[in-house]
Chain A
Amino acid sequence: MQVFPFIVVAWIAGVGLYGIVTSRNLIHQIVCLIVVQSSTYVLLLGVGYVTGAVAPYYYDVPVHTPAVDPVVQALALTDVVVEAAVTALLLSVAIQAHKRFGTLDPHELAEFKG
């Protein structure tokens, strides 16, 4: 359990990159990029985890109860927004590419390289 979550992180990122490299469809590729980024959430939350501690909310838990790291959670939240924003933008570019060239295959699109 000491390193297992971090190995899963490498697996997720590696699989996502593999998807980007082998993909023949831009939208599929963008979804693979989402997978790559999801590895960073797992990493962030993984490094801030404290075994046995509570979530960092003191609404119904006494203040100063040991809690897991709130900072990584804030970072992960930021990260989620960044992901959504980048994905939306990339998808709109992909739609535009498809409109223009009628294909989403990166190999065929490369023929139109400008």
Chain B
Amino acid sequence: MSAAVVTPYTVPAGLMDTLQVTVLVLVAAGAAAVVLTRRLVRQVLVLGAYGIMLAVLFLTFQAPDVTLSALTVGAVALPIIVLLAASKTRKKEE
């Protein structure tokens, strides 16, 4: 089953490959950026951006369902929760 299938809806292979590689590189860089951003509030923003990149990656992997989840959870809900926790713990330090 190794031969690539072709359907009327198939994106040309070269285009798809380029797209996937580009987004994969972006995701890899994004992951590093999330980890290396040590300031919390800034990290939340980077995390949101990383979530969006993941969502795009999943779209290129033909997974619209997971894309939606990655957007709603990874790019919206999780950053909000982390932001709340960060702001709660920051207040004390003042």
Residues of A within 8 A of B (CB): 1, 4-5, 8, 11-12, 15-16, 18-19, 24-25, 27-28, 30-32, 34-35, 38-39, 41-42, 45-46, 49-57, 61, 65-68, 73, 76-77, 80-81, 83-84, 87-88, 91-92, 94-95, 98-99, 102, 104
27 A-B contacts, Cβ less than 8 Å apart?
Answer: A5-B20, A8-B24, A8-B27, A12-B28, A15-B32, A16-B35, A19-B35, A27-B82, A27-B85, A27-B89, A31-B43, A31-B47, A38-B31, A45-B63, A51-B5, A52-B6, A52-B10, A54-B10, A77-B66, A80-B74, A84-B78, A87-B82, A91-B81, A94-B85, A94-B89, A98-B88, A104-B89
Residues of B within 8 A of A (CB): 4-10, 13, 16-17, 20-21, 24-25, 27-28, 31-32, 34-36, 38, 40, 43-44, 47, 50, 54, 57-58, 61-66, 69-70, 73-74, 77-78, 81-82, 84-86, 88-89, 92
